[in-house]
Chains A and B, each alone.
Chain A
Amino acid sequence: MSNNKIIHWFKYASPQSFYPLAGKLIPWFWGLTAVFLIPGLWITFFAAPTDAQQGEGYRIIFIHVPAAWMSMFIYIVMAAWAGLGLALNTRLSGMMAQGLAPTGAIMAFVSLWTGAFWGKPMWGAWWVWDARLTSALILFFLYIGFIALQAAIDDARRADKAGAILALVGVVNVPIIYFSVKWWNTLHQGASVSLTKAPTMAATMLWGMLLMALAFWMYSIAVALTRVRAIILEREAHTEWVKELDEVKA
């Protein structure tokens, strides 16, 4: 392993070099969001056929599943950044975790909300205490807990450490959500798409869901990077490099 490579990687671990990089990346991720969202919405509302059992009501799947996927994925990424910060004490890691948390919380909320609006007409109940729904609700509370805990501690580095421990302990909930429909008898249906077997849905619907998932993914990166840039400025407000930024001098 050459030393150069290590230095290269750590270069972007500094807020000073990540701030302009993120600024350059954000418009690209917004562009990609539109590229995936437009055909995704087209399939959602026009190309995808009416479902034989659920009529038009099933179209909620095109935001419900991507939001649920992102809520779990963002949590893992957030916990990974938090853990990295705890292990290596890199400044940027905690800012990344903090930047991701509200987006993850919104994704978790959207999955619960759309789930309720789908459950009501199909199951006859807005909410049931089954394993999938309950573990997804716990994920939402973990995000809220992470945000509240960090907000309650004034010192940013200590807030990062406390948050990191909460985030890492909470990771155990993610496989519980994922496998809940297998491990327990749930009212919630099993996975429609999995890595181990062929999807149990029509190709058009599958494409729509994948495009919407990609759109949600790109959206999450764009908005989290925007927030991370704000957090960098807040935390580095009294450093020379921030004072020398064009947008501060202007």
Chain B
Amino acid sequence: MNWESPAAFFAMGGYGLYVWGSFGVCAVLMIVEPILASKRRNDILRSLRRERIAENLEQP
């Protein structure tokens, strides 16, 4: 498939709203989800590290 111009590509033959509305939301979700999953692991790791430091302070 050859698009005549970038504008034609974004227009999607008049279906631009529907095509980009679909792909856009899908892309956003699939970028945000892994970030949130990594953040969840980083959060628990941070609290585990803090607990470890606190334990070491109690028993020098």
Contact = CB atoms under 8 A, between A and B. Distances in A.
Interface residue tally on B, bucketed by range: 20 to 34
B21 to A, nearest CB: 5
A226 B41 contact: yes
A118 B18 contact: yes
A28 B52 CA distance: 31
Contacts of B12: 56-57, 59
A72 interface: no
A79 interface: no
Interface string B5-32: 0000100111101110111011001100
B18 A60 contact: yes
B26 A63 contact: yes
Contacts of A223: 33-34, 37
A219 B40 CA distance: 18
Nearest to B55: A243
Nearest to A122: B18
A117 interface: yes
A67 B18 contact: no
Contact of B15 (A49, A121, A249): A121
Given A67-B26, A113-B22, A229-B41, A249 B13 contact: no
A248 B37 contact: no
B7 to A, nearest CB: 13
Contact of B48 (A226, A229, A233): A233
Given A121-B15, A248-B45, A63 B22 contact: yes
Nearest to B14: A55
Nearest to B13: A56
B1 interface: yes
Nearest to B25: A113
A109 B29 contact: yes
Contacts of A234: 44
Contacts of B59: none
A40 to B, nearest CB: 12
A147 interface: no
6 contacts: A102-B33, A110-B29, A114-B22, A226-B38, A233-B44, A237-B48
Interface of A: 45-50, 55-57, 59-60, 63-64, 67, 102-103, 106, 109-110, 113-114, 117-118, 120-121, 219, 222-223, 226-227, 229-230, 233-234, 237, 242-243, 247-250
Interface of B: 1-3, 9, 12-15, 17-19, 21-23, 25-26, 29-30, 33-34, 37-38, 40-41, 43-45, 47-49, 51-52
- 8 cross-chain pairs, A with B, having the tightest CB-CB distances, nearest first: A57-B15, A56-B13, A230-B41, A230-B40, A114-B22, A226-B37, A56-B12, A227-B37
